[in-house]
Amino acid sequence: MAVNPSFIKPLKAEIINVKGTCSANHRTGDTFSISCYDSGGLCGFFYHDLFPGLSVMQFGGKYPWSSPDELIVECPDRGNAVTIKLTAK
């Protein structure tokens, strides 16, 4: 199992909205840790979509259109969309 290197930022994930039923059983209000080394229990499809933004945040990068300490992403399942907020701890 991979170990989080000490130089990456730990991230907190919070499920802020669920439309329909999440296949990974996440519910609004769920919180957990997530990283480039730990999917936090997300399904593979959502984790795959989330990974680029997650890795930018963990390694100290930022997008010009958002805060470097917060990212909101919606899962690719349009019928059962889950919205997640990542926050640097």
pLDDT 10s digits, 15-65: 999 999 998 999 999 999 999 989 999 999 999 999 999 999 998 888 888
- Tell me how many helices (H) and strands (E) the chain has: 1, 4
Provide the b/e sequence for 11-30 (b: ≥16 CB within 10 Å): bebebeebeeebebebeeeb
Domain ranges across the chain: 11-88
Enter the pTM of the model: 0.86
